[in-house]
Amino acid sequence: MRVDQIIQGVELLGSVAVLVPYAASQFRRMDPSRLPYTLLNLIGSGTLAIIAIILRQWGFLLLEGAWALVSLWSATRLLRRKSTGSRDGPAPRPPGAGRHRGRRR
């Protein structure tokens, strides 16, 4: 097997790791605020970012590198919450958050 065939196979696996959770979330089979979704995105986008470096595809690296960094941040946040016993979803909003308040004059 040639190196370019191996890279192509790994690239396909990385793409599947990003697309499967996305499709699952669209069909309400996977919650994007949960760790499995985030980890699959991290693995897939990280793999694709590494391939982009190898192939010197800088635009692709920008896209997948940014995706991987956001996924890493989200996974870290979820893992910290899990280790402290908090729930594995978005943080609860404080009372009154998000309500529109008029300006004082």
Buried b / exposed e along 32-51 (16+ C-beta atoms within 10 A): eeebebbbbbbbbbbbbbbb
Tens of pLDDT along the chain (105 residues)?
899 999 999 999 999 999 999 999 999 999 999 999 999 999 999 999 999 999 999 999 999 999 999 999 999 999 999 888 765 455 555 555 454 455 554
Q: What is the pLDDT of residue 102?
A: 54
Q: What is the pLDDT of residue 87?
A: 58
Q: What is the pLDDT of residue 83?
A: 87
Contacts of 10 by beta carbon, 8 Å cutoff, 6+ apart = 47, 51
Q: What is the pLDDT of residue 1?
A: 81
Q: What is the pLDDT of residue 41?
A: 97
Q: Considering the entire predicted model, what is its pTM?
A: 0.76
What residues does each domain of the chain span? 3-83
The rounded distance, in Å, linking the Cα atoms of 60 and 71 is 16
Q: What is the pLDDT of residue 89?
A: 52
Q: What is the pLDDT of residue 82?
A: 85
Contacts of 41 by beta carbon, 8 Å cutoff, 6+ apart = 17, 18, 21, 67, 71
Q: What is the pLDDT of residue 97?
A: 47
